[in-house]
Amino acid sequence: MNPVCCRPSVRPLMNPSRRWRCFPPAAAALAALWACGVAQAETPPPSPRFPLDVTVVDGRGRFGSGGPPGSDVSVLVRNTTTLAGAAGVALPLQAFVLLGVRWADLPPPDWQWRVGRAGQVTRGTDGGIRFRADPAARDALVTEKGLLPPGHARAIPLPIDTRSERSHEVVIEYATVAPGRDWRDEVLLRTGIEGDVETFVPAAHLDATAIPGVIEAAVLNSSLQPGAAPPAVQTLRVVLPLPAPPPPPPPVDPADERAVHRLDWRGYDGTGDPATARFLFDGEEAGTGPGGFAEVRRRIEALPRGSHLMVIPYYGDPGGSRRRYPFELEAVLQHAERSGIRVERPEPH
């Protein structure tokens, strides 16, 4: 059975006699996906790409997922260097850092894979570091959010409108960690946060079971050297098939009382800072400020076609009004109307 994820046994990683355990492809893929909040994935192809492979994760295809209709799609990026030997490919076990994942010709997602922060960096005798964020400090720490050790996979939400095309090219930008050397000697992994202090230890000092499936913060030793150049960027471009979009939801009978919804808010009069707005949807608390607006937006985008939405605060005063709906609510309402939602702004009597 060809492995999809191989990890060292429970022995410490610095032990040269370490063995490798291989897990069935289905179990390893599902474990990686559950760790990323995605429950389903395509079966890994029999002949994966090397050293990285990318496939489309069957995003539930829901309408109103925060992106374009039918856009709930993710891509699964896998480090396939553990499969090279079985495929007859001469390739060492390598780790990579993701630097960008996007659809070609579409705006990139608002996500930073490499984050630099000012602070105090203290070296330990074991090769690890302790970091305390401090905007006034001279030191800086660059953390990697996309480290992929050998055999690891990462599911990345990448919305796209699946109604208009059946395939699209994905662009993966990445860098090889310590080419020609053991990646564990180059990588420091965050193992704890106490107050405002973060602790990073060498990967070579960690047991394999202590390395998480999804690594949110890692540091490259080379980045701690003054004037160090970042790793060379490599690019992988692959045309991926897209899942079929879901059928549109059936129209709702306007006579059904459940089809009539009410949006209201308190603490914001159309001027000033909308962060004070406390949103209510159908009389229930939806949250305050940006978080409340995000929840309201999610509920509006999930309304079936034919629903009736009443927006209670009336900002359409004769002669022109300087009052504005909080955040991007007006644009959300206009999109809802184009999607078949009846939006009503009743005037006060």
CB within 8 Å of 158: residues ≥ 6 apart: 73, 74, 75, 101, 102, 103, 109, 170
Which tens digits make up the pLDDT trace of 104-140?
Answer: 998 888 888 999 999 999 999 999 999 999 989 888 8
Asked if residue 322 has pLDDT above 70, the reply is: no
Tens digits of residue pLDDT in 197-206: 999 999 999 9
- Mean pLDDT value across residues 266-290: 88
| Total tally of structural domains belonging to the chain | 2
More confident residue, 202 or 207: 202
Please report whether residue 252 resides in a domain: no
Q: Is 246 a domain residue?
A: no
Say if residue 261 is in the same domain as residue 218.
no
| End position of a domain, from candidates 212, 241, 270 | 241
Residue 60 within a domain: yes
Return mean pLDDT, the chain. 79
Residue 25 predicted with pLDDT over 90: no
DSSP 75-127: EEEEE-GGGTTTTT-------EEEEEEEETTSPPPS--SEEEEEEEEEE-TTS
- Based on the fold, state whether residues 170 and 287 are members of the same structural domain: no
My answer on whether 226 and 262 are in the same domain is: no
pLDDT of 23 = 36
Q: Which tokens is 212 given?
A: 């998480």
Helices (H) then strands (E): counts for the chain: 3, 20
| Residue 248 domain-assigned (yes or no) | no
Does 235 lie in the same domain as 269? no
Q: What pLDDT does residue 67 have?
A: 44
The two tokens of residue 75 are: 């891509």
* pLDDT the model gives residue 274: 86
Amino acid at 242: L
For residue 304, being part of any structural domain is answered with yes
288 in the same domain as 331: yes
What percentage of residues in the chain have a pLDDT greater than 90? Answer: 44
User: What residue numbers bound the domain in which 215 lies?
Assistant: 5-241
Q: Is residue 73 part of a domain?
A: yes
Alpha helix positions (H), 278-327? 289-301
Question: Does 251 map to a domain?
Answer: no
Are 233 and 274 in a shared domain?
A: no
- Say if pTM beats, i.e. exceeds, 0.75: no
250 lies in a domain? Answer: no
Categorize the per-residue pLDDT at 334 as very low, low, confident or very high, splitting at 50, 70 and 90. confident
- pLDDT tens string 260-275: 899 999 988 888 788 8
Quick one: 289 and 167 in the same domain? Answer: no
* Longest distance between any two alpha carbons in the chain, whole Å: 82
Question: Looking at residue 256, what is its pLDDT?
Answer: 60
Question: Is 138 in the same domain as 88?
Answer: yes
Same-domain check for residues 231 and 262: no
195 and 112 within one domain:
yes
Per-residue confidence at 32, pLDDT binned at 50, 70, 90?
very low
pLDDT at 205: 94
> Do both 293 and 153 map to the same domain?
no
**Are both 18 and 155 inside the same structural domain?**
yes
Banded pLDDT at 168 (limits 50, 70, 90) = very high
